[in-house]
Amino acid sequence: MIDAVVFDLDGLLLDTEQLWDEVRERLVRERGGRWHDRAQADMMGMSSKEWSRYLHDELGLAEPPEELNRLVVERMEGRYRRQLPLVEGAVEAVRRLAERWALGLASSSNRPLIELALELMGVAELFRATVSSEEVDRGKPAPDVYLEAARRLGVRPENAVAVEDSASGIRSAKAAGMGVVAIPNAHFRPPDEVLQLADVRLESLAGLTPNAVESASSRP
């Protein structure tokens, strides 16, 4: 039985993975850091505490992690307000599933960015619980953010289905014991061995129907 559906945000509802990459790379280069080709993949799924520490420790920025976090979030907020990078069909998919189930959100994004995005999408009132990985001990692929979403929703993790796009997110939701619908990110497609962990695989949000969600729950 499904009691709730828990959405990811970046890369699933918002086309932001490359935007995060652009904003952090520009900051690193402006401040004289050491950007490299692995940086985006390394930081994908990290909580803000983790990636801001990575900018400081691994990429050589002198500012303390807390200040780096503030600078990146400030720049991301400005980009959202100018033009929110919505994935096609995102609002419709959220509204479609909200008619059947309680909704949660489990995101690696910062709390201010989660709230701003949902407000600009016009769906904030449809989410009963939202969790940022900065509010738990470990970011994805650890299960913490999904377990906390289930706790705030008041449901057992095994009675929830997660909708994810990334390798770290799929691993996180599966580790939490949830069914998983995977809609692979076109820019950073998860490896096939990770996609095989998902219970249902879709090509776009257009296919995210109640039947697809129920199939994720019913797979052995």
Q: Token pair for residue 205?
A: 């949000």
In the chain, what is the straight-line distance between the N-terminal and C-terminal CA atoms, in Å?
13
Task: Residue 2: name the closest of 157, 147, 152 by CA.
Answer: 157
C-beta of residue 8 within 8 angstroms of C-beta of residue 165: yes
Instruction: From 59, 82, 105, give the residue that closes a domain.
Output: 82
pLDDT in tens, 186-200: 888 999 999 999 999
| Same structural domain, 131 and 206 | yes
Distance CA 204, CA 18 (A): 18
pLDDT, tens digit, 9 for 90 and up, residues 83-121: 999 999 999 999 999 999 999 999 999 999 999 999 999
Provide the pLDDT for residue 52: 94
Helix/strand/coil for 102: strand
| Domains of the chain: total | 2
Catalytic residues: 8, 10
CATH code at position 112: 3.40.50.1000
- CA separation for the pair 8, 109 (Å, rounded): 10
